[in-house]
Amino acid sequence: MGAQKKIKVECLEPGKAWELFQDKVGDETLNSHPDIPNLAKQVTERCGGLPLALITIGHAMACKTTLGEWKYAIEMLKRCALPKMENEVFPLLKFSYDNLPNATIKCCLLYCCLYPEDYCIPKKRLVEYWLCEGLLNGFDRISEAQMQGDHIIYSLISACLLENVGEIDGEDCVKMHDVIRDMALWITREFEATENNFFGKIGAQVFEEPNVTAWENVKRMSVMENKIEVLKETPKCPNLRTLFLSQNELQVISDGFFQFIPLLTVLDLSGNLRLRALPVGISQLVCLECFDLSYTGIEELPTELKSLTKLKMLDLSYMHNLKKIPQHLISNFSKLQIFRMWSVQNRDYPNEDNVLYGGNEKLMEELKGLQHLNILSIPIKSMFCLERFLNINLFLCWTQALQLCDFRESKIFNILCLKNLECLQTLCFSNCEDMEEMKMEKLLINASCYHTLSTVEIYECVKLKDMSWLILAPNLRNLKIYLCDKMEEILNEGKLGEVAGVIGIPYAKSFLKLETLYLFWLPKLKNIYWDALPFPCLKLIRINACRELKKFPLNSDSAKGNQLSIEGSKDWWATVEWENEATRDAFLPSFKSVPT
């Protein structure tokens, strides 16, 4: 899978190697038997000073407390010859793979090979693909499978076979070290060729369609991050279950392309912005369960998709050209569990046979009949539609992301009308031009705060002056506010004084979980908060075109140990007023100048 490459591996001298190995194994295991330290030194020697081998094998041995387990490990490692990369490094790293608890976790690791080197893989999407591929068994709902998937990811991180990279663009992500990925590909070639047959040209800048004759026996295929424009062949792939075609430059897929891929279960076409239409032959994919069309230029979903009756996941997010979804198409996906349609705001909708016409009321009618639905991301385009939405129990239980856009009916929005959305994680208001206030009306002592809400985004709400209701979101991690012409402050002292005493929230403890803060094009913004806040989790502040923002709620005790980054223009940074010189000096290394 792909070309072989040379990798320079720096080795540690014996003393440093032994220290690193001891650290990863842990004192408890090393002291569990008087002979284990000597055996551990033999394992260290077999690692040849390779840091990645020392780390991964050290973690694998951390739970081995018997002499038999250590002697077996030494015997396995002795079988490794040492002349070149595949014989020197990979067999050592394969020891950690072999020590994974079961075949399911091993298959889930190998599945990550489909992604490019150092690619940030969204954890949720990875688990969804695992489920549809049949790697996670015993679960009917993706929300339940997510727990097993999270455990598998944790196990692979603990074994140093995956790396946790935190949140990227609102998604918790992992990645695979390039050497670990090469080792995993080597395993698929040498040991797991029957069960895990992979083929791919990933990030190779390929312009031409790959030779489809090489796909015949492939079970999983990836040609991500290339420059392929046309898929005109008719591949015969009787065993293919996963196909990644994302982030290419696709313009045309022939009608016959999917004709002989009968078992395809996962299809990722995301990121093909120039792809304007799906082929009629898409109807052949009767086994398809996961279908990602996000960030494509497709204008209309064809009625031929009705044959995809096994579909469990459909992602239509960021399809900015999407104008039409035929009536009775979505309702036909009776097994659908995940429906995402985030930031789809084309306003030029034809009204004939189209669920997008008329504020999404027709789309809601089709969604509410999907009894297996348990993850929903959806835009709502009127107060009338929102009121109907909030009266449907299915939506209250399973909506994870809600986008309220183009509201025109009211100047005041009662934010507490959303309090019964049980698993709401992301809330966005966009282009609500007449909305002047988000009010916390009828607040009761036992009012439910938005404990699940982690991301709030506000775009082009030009009359809003503050966002004081955020005190109700104690676990907020990400806040983005763009193009709000009259926004003067984020949290208003007077409004918080009225509310905090009623609900018992000490407002001096606001933003305790906040990690990222984006403030763009807010010409009247003067304050985020009137006093210093601790910001124990804050990692990134980005400021652009906020010329009146001269004060930050920071003092010398704020964001300690966070390696905080503050990004903005040099001219703006020069105008910032600090509590004292010590505070200014403390945050000076955090500043990064960026063009406006």
pLDDT class of 550 with cuts at 50, 70, 90 = very high
Question: In whole angstroms, what is the distance from residue 103 CA to residue 138 CA?
Answer: 15
Question: In whole angstroms, what is the distance from residue 61 CA to residue 557 CA?
Answer: 41
Please state which of the ranges 251-255, 345-349, 440-444 shows the lowest mean pLDDT.
Answer: 440-444
**Domains of the chain, start order:** 14-98 (1.10.8), 103-182 (1.10.10)
pLDDT at 446 > cutoff 50: no
Sort 467 into a burial class: Cβ within 10 Å, 0-12 / 13-18 / 19+: buried
Place of tokens 């809330």: 427
| pLDDT tens string 373-417 | 999 999 998 899 999 999 999 999 999 999 999 888 789 999 999
Q: What is the pLDDT of residue 201?
A: 65
pLDDT at 59 > cutoff 90: no
Q: What is the pLDDT of residue 8?
A: 39
Beta strands in 406-477 (DSSP E): 412-414, 426-430, 437-439, 455-459
**In the predicted model, what is the mean pLDDT of residues 191-198?**
64
Return the higher-pLDDT residue of 57 and 175.
175
Question: In whole angstroms, what is the distance from residue 414 CA to residue 437 CA?
Answer: 8
| pLDDT tens string 271-319 | 999 999 999 999 999 999 999 999 999 999 999 999 999 999 999 999 9
Q: What is the pLDDT of residue 258?
A: 96
Please state which of the ranges 16-30, 79-93, 487-501, 502-516 shows the lowest mean pLDDT.
Answer: 79-93
Q: Which two three-digit tokens encode residue 149?
A: 């998937």
- Strand-pairing partners, residue 122, are 173
**How far, in whole angstroms, is CA 504 from its chain's centroid?**
34
Q: What is the pLDDT of residue 76?
A: 75
Q: What is the pLDDT of residue 294?
A: 97
| pLDDT tens string 206-216 | 677 777 777 88
How much of the chain exceeds pLDDT 70, in percent? 89
Q: What is the DSSP letter of 303?
A: G
Dihedral angle computed from the Cα positions of residues 160, 102, 311 and 305, in that order, rounded to the nearest 10 degrees: 70
pLDDT at 419 > cutoff 70: yes
**In the predicted model, what is the mean pLDDT of residues 250-264?**
95
**In the predicted model, what is the mean pLDDT of residues 92-102?**
85
Of 363, 295, 298, 299, nearest in space to 329 by CA: 363
**Do residues 257 and 235 make contact, with C-beta atoms less than 8 angstroms apart?**
yes
Could you give the 3-state DSSP secondary structure of residue 394?
A: helix
Own/partner pairs, 248-255, CB within 8 angstroms, 24+ separation: 248/223, 248/224, 248/272, 249/274, 250/274, 250/275, 251/275, 251/276, 253/278, 253/279, 254/230, 254/279, 254/281, 255/279, 255/280, 255/281
Place of tokens 């780390």: 55
Question: In whole angstroms, what is the distance from residue 451 CA to residue 297 CA?
Answer: 36
The dihedral region occupied by 60, where left means phi > 0, alpha psi between -120 and 50, and beta the remainder, is: alpha
Question: In whole angstroms, what is the distance from residue 82 CA to residue 470 CA?
Answer: 59
pLDDT at 85 > cutoff 80: no
pLDDT class of 204 with cuts at 50, 70, 90 = low
Q: What is the pLDDT of residue 56?
A: 80
- Strand-pairing partners, residue 222, are 200, 244
Question: In whole angstroms, what is the distance from residue 426 CA to residue 122 CA?
Answer: 16
Helix H, strand E, coil C: the string for 106-126 is HHHHHHHHHCCCCCCEEHHHH
Backbone CA torsion sign across 285, 289, 295, 299:
positive
pLDDT at 346 > cutoff 70: no
Which distant-in-sequence residues (6+ apart) come within 8 Å of 13 by Cβ? 49
